[in-house]
């Protein structure tokens, strides 16, 4: 079953006696674990046991599962690192008794919930233990979201929060937050709290509220350069200073933005479509879209001049010819003047 399907079952208080959670997306794993813990124990953590199967044999875990709880109605036993599900398991100082696991899977008790978490990219589905778990347990697939499914995932979260977003906001969120699903949900929740139920999030609201990453701030810096707004550019830089961003790293981010604008401009002159540009450059579609909107503000020689100034400033900083913060502020002045 998918992560969403398992989570929806749990939210309806449909709790299975055995779970196998596998995949490498930690955000999904932690969410399911949290929901199971909530539904089984109702805040009573005295009946929660945690085991690492690299240190404890599975037969000891099964013994605990089959022991009746001293307090409360149910026990929750979570076992991580089931190396016996891997194609090439690490050598351990003990052996896992697979017969004990097999026996329990076919006849689980009704007063315990067993959760086995295999936070691996793959498990060996040819193994007997894998086949038995897939047959008798509720299996939650927690693989990372594929790039093509990110938009669908964001829209699903937005629907759950009962808000609507401008198309530009979807693109901003997808570009800036899709690599960190936990941060993505936190930022969407923050937007939902701001606009209220059935509220609408505009681009302006999103830009003001979404936590700025260094990449998003470099986009804002480019906007400030295009608009010739030195004061705003330096303000953005000061924000980045607080975020402990190094001026040399910021030069790299700006250089990437302006090189992308230049390459998009050159490809546009050759008649490339937006999709062809994205395939050629190997970047996110939103990056290409932004560059297409920006390239009209620059002549090719202006872009080349800005990139040269960024290269010179990078070399100057690395050679220690000037204090980095001052050098970066002077660089902003120079490239705004050049633009």
Residues in the chain: 339
Note whether residue 58 is domain-resident: yes
Note whether residue 218 is domain-resident: no
Note whether residue 24 is domain-resident: yes
Shared domain for 7 and 135, answered yes or no, is: yes
Q: What is the pLDDT of residue 19?
A: 96
Cβ atoms < 10 Å from Cβ of 207: 16
Note whether residue 109 is domain-resident: yes
Shared domain for 27 and 9, answered yes or no, is: yes
Shared domain for 34 and 51, answered yes or no, is: yes
Residue 286 φ then ψ, to 5° = -65, -35
Residue that terminates a domain, selected from 94, 109, 141 = 141
Return the CATH number at 84.
Answer: 3.40.50.300
Residue that terminates a domain, selected from 181, 209, 237 = 209
Q: What is the pLDDT of residue 134?
A: 93
Note whether residue 19 is domain-resident: yes
Note whether residue 236 is domain-resident: no
**What integer is the mean pLDDT of 185-190?**
87
The torsion angle over the Cα atoms of residues 89, 95, 99 and 102, rounded to 10 degrees, is -40
Note whether residue 53 is domain-resident: yes
Shared domain for 187 and 117, answered yes or no, is: no
Shared domain for 111 and 51, answered yes or no, is: yes
**What integer is the mean pLDDT of 220-244?**
81
Note whether residue 239 is domain-resident: no
302 pLDDT above the threshold of 60: yes
Return the CATH number at 260.
Answer: 1.20.272.10
Tens of pLDDT, residues 115-149: 999 999 899 999 999 999 999 999 999 988 776 77
Q: State both tokens at 24.
A: 């490498």
Shared domain for 19 and 124, answered yes or no, is: yes
Q: In 3D, which of 141, 122, 133 has the Cα closest to residue 6?
A: 141
Shared domain for 311 and 253, answered yes or no, is: yes
Shared domain for 118 and 203, answered yes or no, is: no
Domain that holds residue 105: 3-141
Tens of pLDDT, residues 84-104: 999 888 888 899 999 999 999
Per the structure, the count of domains in the chain is: 3
338 pLDDT above the threshold of 60: yes
Shared domain for 154 and 121, answered yes or no, is: no
Return the CATH number at 161.
Answer: 1.10.8.60
3-class secondary structure for 274-308?
HHHHHHHHCCCHHHHHHHHHHHCCCCHHHHHHHHH
Q: Where are the beta strands (DSSP E) in 54-156?
A: 75-80, 112-118, 138-141
**What integer is the mean pLDDT of 149-178?**
83
């Amino acid at each position: 079953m998918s992560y969403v399907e398992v989570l929806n079952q749990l939210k309806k208080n449909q709790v299975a006696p055995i779970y196998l959670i596998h995949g490498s997306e930690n955000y999904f794993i932690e969410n399911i674990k949290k929901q199971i813990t909530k539904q089984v124990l109702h805040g009573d953590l005295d009946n929660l046991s945690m085991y690492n199967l690299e240190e404890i044999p599975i037969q000891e875990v099964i013994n605990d599962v089959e022991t009746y709880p001293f307090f409360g109605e149910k026990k929750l036993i979570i076992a991580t690192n089931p190396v016996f599900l891997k194609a090439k398991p690490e050598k351990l100082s003990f052996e896992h008794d697979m017969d004990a696991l097999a026996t329990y899977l076919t006849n689980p008790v009704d007063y315990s919930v067993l959760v086995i978490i295999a936070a691996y990219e793959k498990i060996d589905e040819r193994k007997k233990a894998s086949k038995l778990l897939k047959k008798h347990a509720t299996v939650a697939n927690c693989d990372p979201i594929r790039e093509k499914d990110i938009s669908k995932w964001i829209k699903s979260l937005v629907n759950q929060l009962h808000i609507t977003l401008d198309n530009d906001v979807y693109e901003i969120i997808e570009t800036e937050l899709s690599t960190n699903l936990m941060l993505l949900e936190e930022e969407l929740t923050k937007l939902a709290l701001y606009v209220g139920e059935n509220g609408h999030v505009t681009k302006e609201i999103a830009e003001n509220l979404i936590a700025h990453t260094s990449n998003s701030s470099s986009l804002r810096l480019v906007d400030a350069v295009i608009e010739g707004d030195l004061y705003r550019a330096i303000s953005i830089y000061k924000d980045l200073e607080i975020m402990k961003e190094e001026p040399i790293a910021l030069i790299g981010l700006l250089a990437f933005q302006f090189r992308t604008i230049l390459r998009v401009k050159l490809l546009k002159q050759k008649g490339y479509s937006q999709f062809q540009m994205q395939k050629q450059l190997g970047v996110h579609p939103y990056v290409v879209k932004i560059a297409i909107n920006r390239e009209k503000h620059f002549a090719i020689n202006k872009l080349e001049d800005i990139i040269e100034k960024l290269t010179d400033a990078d070399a100057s900083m690395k050679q220690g010819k000037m204090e980095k913060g001052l050098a970066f502020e002077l660089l902003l002045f120079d490239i705004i003047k050049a633009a």
